[in-house]
Amino acid sequence: MNFERLVKTISNTHGHFQQQAAKAVNVSLTLRNWLIGFYIVEFEQKGEDRARYGSRLIDTLADSLNTKSLGNRNLKLFRQFYLAYIELNDVISQMVDSPNKSLPEIMQLSTALSGSPNLQKEIVQSATAQFTERNESYLWHLIQHISFTHFVELLKIKDPTKRIFFELLIIKTTPSVQELKRQIDTLAYERVGLSEKTELAFQQLEQKIIPEQATDAIKSIYLFDFMGLNASHLVEERDLETAILDHLQAFILELGHGFCFEARQKRILIDDDYFFVDLVFYHRILKCHVLIELKIDSFKHEHLSQLNTYVAYYREEVKRKDDNPPIGILLCTGKGKKLVEYALSGMDNQLFVSKYLLELPKKELLEAFITNELQKWNS
């Protein structure tokens, strides 16, 4: 064994067990969520005191469980997951109703399921319309090869035929969740259906899909939430900042108001040290640069100091003679509050300030944007 082979062997071993770990957690997560959905529906159908809770069942249950991963939204999602994939009952009952009785308390799954024949028959017939009933082998593949984050996207598809199309696509190509979303959004199902040679079209589609990497699954917010890690482990700050900046960039450009996009993570050199400005625009009406900094925490004075440093750099090193002084916009997020700071950086000309207030996005719009983006990550 030479060094190159040693590196390759260790890398392959690492990748293999990383994939196995991600797969094991994903399967457990899928089982947990399906079973929770089953328990909720079972209680709605047969619970001794179900009438007491009625339409408030999910809300009351979430309050009683008092666990972030078992909040109102997720419990509704798990119920929806069970109802959409009730046909998994035989496979899942085999996995959890083992001789070791590993399924926690409550009820024997196979017995309970057989007690709701009408509900089961109705939903299974709907889900398998126009298809031969999915056999056990196929259902095993669903659980083993489709992560719950992929199932979440599949649940958004109401047409059962279309949903099965994307199930097959996931099993065959193991796309990342983002790639799956892209295929759904770009009408892959409809495009293949319109092709004269559907089999060939599907094969061509497979070849264009980039397979999911183990790290894609490991970074899943559902995985980390399921494993009970602190909120700080759900997503790296850098990832959240990048996601919001992606949308912020599009948001600013969509507003118009004379914004011309120049750079993202613009590198500037000050005293032999590199610094990076999140977003740089040039405003053709105000005739000045607009620098935007986003901080994923509450406002601190050093944030404003940092932004003012960047603004001062642009004023001294980048500003042309016929330009107006640059403007800095600081966006901060905190627990339950947002702060938008406009750093005027010496613009004492009242006429120009008035014009600037008219041309830049209103603070309320930026605050609403940040609130909306954070809600997407926190929900």
Residue 77's φ and ψ, nearest 5 degrees, are: -65, -40
Cβ–Cβ under 8 Å, residues 165 and 171: no
Question: Do 8 and 155 fall within a single domain?
Answer: yes
Question: Do 149 and 244 fall within a single domain?
Answer: no
CA distance 38 to 43: 9
**Closest Cα partner for 310 from 251, 353, 352, 266?**
266
Determine the 3-state secondary structure of 369 from DSSP.
helix
Question: Do 342 and 292 fall within a single domain?
Answer: yes
Domain finish residue from 208, 229, 250: 229
Question: Do 113 and 167 fall within a single domain?
Answer: yes
**Closest Cα partner for 30 from 97, 99, 77, 100?**
77
* DSSP states of 202-244: HHHHHHHPPBPPHHHHHT-HHHHHHTT--GGGTS-HHHHHHHH
Q: What is the pLDDT at residue 114?
A: 43
Query: Is the predicted pLDDT of residue 4 greater than 70, yes or no?
Result: yes
Question: Do 121 and 261 fall within a single domain?
Answer: no
- The region of weakest confidence among 97-101, 148-152, 274-278, 355-359 is 97-101
Mean pLDDT confidence for 96-118: 46
Residue with tokens 């600013």: 252
Residue with tokens 């925490």: 297
Amino acid at 373: E
pTM: 0.55
Q: How far are the Cα atoms of 80, 142, 191 from residue 38, in angstroms, in the given order? A: 10, 17, 35
Question: Do 243 and 331 fall within a single domain?
Answer: yes
- The region of weakest confidence among 138-142, 288-292, 333-337 is 333-337
Q: How far are the Cα atoms of 69, 126, 248, 294 from residue 367, in angstroms, in the given order? A: 27, 44, 11, 12
Domain finish residue from 187, 205, 229: 229
3-state helix, strand, coil in the chain (%, to 5): 65, 15, 25
Mean pLDDT confidence for 18-46: 86
Strands (E), 224-303: 259-270, 273-283, 288-295
Question: Do 203 and 335 fall within a single domain?
Answer: no
What is the Rg, in whole angstroms, of the alpha carbon atoms belonging to the chain?
27
Cβ–Cβ under 8 Å, residues 335 and 296: no
Question: Do 204 and 250 fall within a single domain?
Answer: no
**Closest Cα partner for 335 from 303, 369, 368, 371?**
371
Question: Do 51 and 174 fall within a single domain?
Answer: yes
* Domain that residue 204 falls in: 3-229
Question: Do 71 and 196 fall within a single domain?
Answer: yes
Question: Do 362 and 214 fall within a single domain?
Answer: no
Determine the 3-state secondary structure of 44 from DSSP.
helix
pLDDT in tens, 280-295: 889 888 888 988 888 7
Determine the 3-state secondary structure of 288 from DSSP.
strand
Number of structural domains in the chain: 2
Q: What is the DSSP letter of 256?
A: -
For residue 128 the two structure tokens come to 């398998």
Question: Do 166 and 272 fall within a single domain?
Answer: no
Mean pLDDT confidence for 184-204: 76
CA distance 169 to 208: 12
What band does 355 get if pLDDT is binned at 50, 70 and 90?
Answer: low
Query: Is the predicted pLDDT of residue 27 greater than 90, yes or no?
Result: no
- The region of weakest confidence among 32-46, 164-178, 227-241, 285-299 is 227-241
Higher pLDDT, 352 or 44: 44
Mean pLDDT confidence for 132-158: 85
Domain finish residue from 183, 212, 229: 229
Query: Is the predicted pLDDT of residue 59 greater than 60, yes or no?
Result: yes
Residue 236 exposure: Cα atoms within 13 Å on the Cβ side? 5
Average pLDDT across the chain, whole number: 75
Q: What is the pLDDT at residue 109?
A: 47
- Domain of 372: which CATH number? 3.40.1350
For residue 36 the two structure tokens come to 């929770």
